[in-house]
């Protein structure tokens, strides 16, 4: 697919333009320089033609910002990958020396460049765009991402640069886009190794990686295919303790991480093996459990531990995350690429279990087998009974149990039921939901 990268210095409106082109708020937009650090990639459609559009971090040549070297590395990678560049500049502020430096870099690629002069919120101020012809590019378009001015003209210019053979959309390609992806959210506290794990899976530096906590601010969607299986990975910002999150960019990042958990079919919780599960990991696991999400726990950085230390980290994690006992634990080292294939296999297994259905007969035989092992306790002097059970539609697996007194079934017995159903019916690595319906409710219906 034809690929268009949006580039420019910080705080000129690249992410606002990206969101405007793709038609949804995917990149975080704040009036703070350096908000976007990762490359954010999405698909846009103009005049019936699809193309890829990439939002990049603000390019700066000095290292006053601690993330500057990492951002430059991501932008420079895009110089090779993209077919065309939209160079965003600030019309109000005017031409700067950094704009000239970026223009020189883009010129060396010998690829098409359109200069988008942003923040021209009034058509009468379009003359402010004239000075940007000094950069030496033929196509200079005044735009306002806020007022939606000039964006259509910019898209028309992109359309003109797309080769004719790229505009021929085959029906087969259209069908392929509708195929199901396994949506995987990679979550964890800052600096646990989430982006490194994504890069190890993909085999390239797709997400920005550094040793600085809080590097990833946006959720980053990446399509990946292996052995015929298609994954949509959502790399997220690290979730910090609430007391450490200030309103602003990081506030929105935490919100995006929670949205990513809700979107996902499977959640991968990355934990730093050198620390084991911490209080913050427990809270993130609680977000997963309360949403009944299938999960895989990854103990990362195992290359830094000996066998005794590793066993201790595993036991600590199991103890802390006892309520997520259905989630398998995978040991990984992104540096040595250990455990990556096993992780992908486990993600697929967990996904398949979450969509599994059992027959009503099989379910009720399992209920009978479990209650013969341990009868439900008495309630108000009368024995509790489970008359009948059936699986409901949807995911995760949910079972409706018809009982005589639902208020009598306490948490410890429901936990016993849940664990045994998981074992007997083959849901070992999937959350399941039990919904009780009392006899009185059934009679009222």
A 10 A CB-CB count for 409 gives 21
Q: Do 54 and 151 fall within a single domain?
A: yes
What is the pLDDT, as a whole number, of residue 61?
64
Query: What is the per-residue pLDDT across 360-371, written as a single tens digit (0 to 9) for each?
Result: 999 999 999 999
- Using a 10 angstrom Cβ sphere, with 0-12 exposed, 13-18 middle and 19 or more buried, the burial of residue 279 is exposed
Tell me: do 375 and 296 sit in the same domain: no
Q: Which of 45-59, 160-174, 268-282, 285-299 has the lowest mean pLDDT?
A: 160-174
Domain boundary among 137, 157, 174: 174
pTM over 0.75? The answer is no
Beta-bridged to residue 330, according to DSSP, are: 298
Do both 227 and 300 map to the same domain?
yes
Q: Mark which of 314, 332, 354 sits at the end of a domain.
A: 354
Q: What gap in Å lies between CA 421 and CA 363, rounded to an integer? A: 8
Among 59-63, 151-155, 308-312, name the one with the lowest average pLDDT.
Answer: 59-63
How many domains does one find in the chain?
A: 3
Give the start-end residues of each E strand in 247-391: 266-272, 295-300, 329-331, 378-379, 382-383, 386-391
Which residue, 127, 145, 174, sits at the end of a domain? 174
Range of the domain at 115: 3-174
Label residue 76 by pLDDT band (50, 70, 90).
Answer: confident
- Domain co-membership, 187 together with 269: yes
Convert the pLDDT of each residue in 108-120 to its tens digit.
999 999 999 999 9
- Cβ(216)–Cβ(190) below 8 Å: no
Going by pLDDT thresholds of 50, 70 and 90, the confidence category of residue 421 is: very high
Tell me: do 311 and 427 sit in the same domain.
no
Percent of the chain at pLDDT > 70 equals 80
Same domain, 186 and 285: yes
Predicted confidence at residue 33, as pLDDT, reads: 40
**Judgement on whether residues 348 and 370 belong to the same structural domain of the protein:** no
- Is the domain of 158 the same as that of 261? no
CATH code of the domain in which 116 resides: 3.40.50.300
How many angstroms separate the CA atoms of 434 and 391, rounded? 9
Both 202 and 148 in a single domain? no
| Residue 258 burial class via C-beta count within 10 angstroms: exposed 0-12, middle 13-18, buried 19 and up | middle
**Between β-strands 139-142 and 113-118, what pairing exists: parallel, antiparallel or unpaired?**
parallel
Same domain, 127 and 8: yes
Choose among 279, 312, 318, 278: nearest CA to 297. 318
Same domain, 154 and 203: no
Res 144: pLDDT? 92
Tell me the pLDDT band of 167, cut-offs 50, 70 and 90: low
Q: Structure tokens of 263?
A: 């979107």
Domain identity same for 208 and 280: yes
């Amino acid at each position: 697919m034809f690929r268009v990268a949006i580039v420019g210095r910080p705080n000129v409106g690249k992410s606002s333009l990206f969101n405007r082109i793709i038609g949804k708020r995917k990149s975080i937009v704040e009036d703070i320089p350096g908000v976007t650090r990762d490359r954010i990639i999405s698909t846009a459609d103009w005049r019936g033609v699809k193309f890829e559009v990439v939002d990049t971090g603000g390019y700066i040549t000095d290292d006053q910002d601690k993330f500057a070297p990492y951002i430059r590395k991501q932008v420079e990678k895009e110089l090779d990958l993209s077919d065309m560049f939209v160079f965003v500049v600030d019309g109000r502020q005017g031409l700067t020396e950094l704009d000239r430096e970026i223009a020189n870099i883009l010129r060396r690629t010998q690829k098409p460049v359109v200069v988008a002069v942003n923040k021209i919120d009034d058509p009468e101020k379009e003359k402010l765009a004239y000075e940007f012809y000094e950069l030496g590019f033929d196509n200079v378009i005044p735009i306002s991402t806020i007022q939606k001015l000039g964006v259509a003209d910019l898209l028309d210019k992109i359309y003109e640069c797309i080769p004719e053979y790229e505009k021929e959309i085959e029906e087969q390609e259209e069908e392929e886009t509708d195929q199901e992806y396994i949506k995987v959210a990679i979550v964890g506290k800052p600096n646990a190794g989430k982006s490194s794990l994504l890069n190890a899976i993909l085999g390239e530096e797709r997400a920005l990686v550094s040793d600085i906590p809080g590097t990833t601010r946006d959720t980053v969607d990446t399509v990946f295919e292996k052995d015929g299986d298609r994954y949509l990975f959502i790399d997220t910002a690290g979730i910090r303790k609430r007391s450490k999150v200030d309103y602003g960019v990081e506030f929105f990042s935490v919100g995006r991480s929670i949205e990513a958990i809700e979107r996902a079919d499977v959640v991968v919780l990355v934990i730093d093996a050198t620390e084991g599960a911490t209080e913050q990991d427990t809270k993130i696991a609680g977000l997963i459990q309360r949403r009944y999400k299938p999960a895989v726990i990854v103990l990362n950085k195992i290359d830094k531990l000996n066998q005794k230390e590793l066993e201790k980290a595993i036991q600590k994690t199991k103890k802390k995350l006892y309520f997520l006992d259905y989630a398998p634990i995978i040991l990984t080292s992104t540096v040595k690429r250990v455990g990556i294939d096993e992780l992908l296999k486990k993600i697929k297994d967990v996904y398949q279990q979450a969509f599994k259905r059992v027959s009503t007969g099989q379910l009720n035989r399992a209920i009978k087998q479990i209650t013969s092992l341990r009868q439900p306790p008495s309630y108000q002097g009368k024995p509790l009974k489970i008359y009948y059970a059936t699986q409901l539609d949807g995911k995760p697996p949910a079972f409706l149990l018809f009982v005589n007194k639902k208020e009598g079934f306490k948490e410890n017995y429901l936990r016993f039921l849940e664990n045994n159903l998981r074992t007997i019916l083959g849901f070992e690595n999937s959350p399941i939901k039990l919904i009780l319906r009392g006899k009185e409710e059934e009679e009222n219906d």
